[in-house]
Chains A and B, each alone.
Chain A
Amino acid sequence: MKLITAIIKPFKLDDVRQAVSEVGVQGVTVTEVRGFGRQRGHTEIYRGAEYVVEFVPKTKIEIAVEDALVDPVIDAIAKSAQTGKVGDGKIFVFDLTQVVRIRTGERDASAI
């Protein structure tokens, strides 16, 4: 089992959700986050006062999957979140040691 975490452009969220559903993902957790990478920030000007916004708004999604789904999900995210411009985001994959469904107490594969 793996936990796939992806940082994407906020406006790409619907496309990504659609794409991962199509490869069989049952659930996604979404968080609004801020950060910087190669895209860096931007400058805002209010009545002449310049503010450098160093952290850009991004969306973080987290998906727990069985091993068999890891590659299809990575491909689905990478394809659907891509615009080809700097700031498209990143995908991180972690080992997942345990999963528990709170309602039933089911564990691991059957709990995903």
Chain B
Amino acid sequence: MSKLSRLILLALLTLSMPAAWADDAASAPAAAAVSAPTEPTLMGVDKISAGDTAWMLTSTALVLMMAIPGLALFYGGMVRKKNVLATLMQTFAITCVVTLLWWLIGYSWAFTPGSPFLGGSSRAFFNGMTFIHDPTNKLSVSHLALTIPETVYAMFQMTFAAITPALIAGAFADRMKFSAMLVFMIAWSLLVYSPIAHMVWEPTGWLNKAGVLDYAGGTVVHINAGIAGLASCLVLGKRLGYGREAMAPHNLTLTLIGASLLWVGWFGFNAGSAGAADGRAGMAMLTTQMATAAAALAWMGAEWISRGKPSVLGIASGAVAGLVAITPASGFVGPTPAVVIGVIAGVVCFVAATFLKRALGYDDSLDAFGVHGIGGIIGALLTGVFASKEISGSDGSVLIQLKGVAVTVLYGFAASFIILKIIDKTIGLRVTEEQEREGLDISLHGESIE
């Protein structure tokens, strides 16, 4: 009985206050922090906002579209003709695998309260996530998004969990065994993605408590994927013939279509991270557009000046760099800082993907680290510079942001490196030289586009 009455009290209280999202929970009034639910809770369906739910359903579909076909085409167009299907296959398979992992335990470890480093296991197999039509008309709601069904919140976050490991694939394109990739992604999703998502986004996570701001995943998604990409191209080594043979993209039309789908889908990613159809979602959408256009032109311009020609791959890469960099900042800044973030990201990522990569000598095939790692770090730090209290209720701090970046980089790199080394010593990570020469499409999948 006392549990029920507590529940009703909570429901009544939460109705009268603004929703407390993960990223600004710290700034919510003290009273609200005490009385708002701190774990997934059953609520009456009348507490659900139809507008918020409609937007979050839409956002979820948009983010899934970023991965398949957006990212798949973006990467697929950049590889050589013999590796196209293998590259498309990676993104598609990762999406399926992570979906099941999310149901198994991933969601619970990320988004239920637990230790400062990992959530609990109460939502394993989506246990307790429910909608009871009759007779009580109740459904479960995440404490991180109080006006939408938990099913929608878990599904929305699932699409983030799916695209993040798929981003890593850009770093090791053309040379990893498909079986090894599946094992790596399973381990990475559970041991790296869920813990980092918990630390940054769940209120019991220690980086969240420390005040690290990450609106839509600059740290959790992009730095995390970028640094894992760097680890994987270091462990795997360079592609055969790297630096000597031509490795020009086989079809930049696919890449441009992919980049465009990523851009459109990113409105779900960033504006959807509001968890609601509100003013902050609108601002996130606007800043996303501004930063992306600015970064695309900045990369194009930097390339035009230093290399003589503005390229299609350049403008597409710049757009993605801008999308990455604005991701952590999108709900915290206004449109003018967004333009500044975009310009900086466009130029710095261009330098990272061209000069820096060559100078350091690693073979990040499709620049997963150069674009997502570097772009994510720029975005995370600049969020600390430009965060507006007016828009978000939060003051940014570059130092606190730096802490979030450092933890993600160190933990993400170390964990990815160890997982990859273990796989390399057991089932082997890299295809044989013969398979690599022949191309992964034929040698791993028995198919080709020719």
Interface residues, chain A, with chain B CB atoms under 8 Å away: 44-49, 51-53
Contacts and interface: CB of A to CB of B under 8 A. Distances in A.
Contact of A47 (B246, B309, B353): B353
A49 B247 CA distance: 9
Contact of A51 (B248, B353, B355, B367): B248
Contacts, number: 27
A48 B358 contact: yes
B375 to A, nearest CB: 14
B307 A48 contact: yes
A44 B248 CA distance: 8
Interface string B292-317: 00000000000000010101011001
A79 to B, nearest CB: 34
Secondary structure at chain B's binding surface: helix, strand, loop or mixed? helix
Interface string B319-353: 00000000000000000000000000000000001
Given A48-B353, A48-B354, A53 B314 contact: no
Contacts of B247: 49, 51
Most buried by B among A44, A47, A49, A51: A47
Contact of B314 (A44, A47, A51, A52): A47
A71 to B, nearest CB: 41
A45 B249 CA distance: 10
Interface of B: 246-249, 307, 309, 311, 313-314, 317, 353-355, 357-358, 367
Contacts of B358: 48
26 contacts: A44-B248, A45-B307, A45-B309, A45-B311, A46-B248, A46-B249, A46-B311, A46-B313, A47-B314, A47-B317, A47-B353, A47-B354, A47-B367, A48-B307, A48-B353, A48-B354, A48-B355, A48-B357, A48-B358, A49-B247, A49-B354, A51-B246, A51-B247, A51-B248, A52-B246, A53-B246
Given A48-B358, A49-B354, A52-B246, 11 more contacts: A45-B307, A45-B309, A46-B249, A46-B311, A47-B313, A47-B314, A47-B317, A48-B353, A48-B355, A51-B247, A51-B248
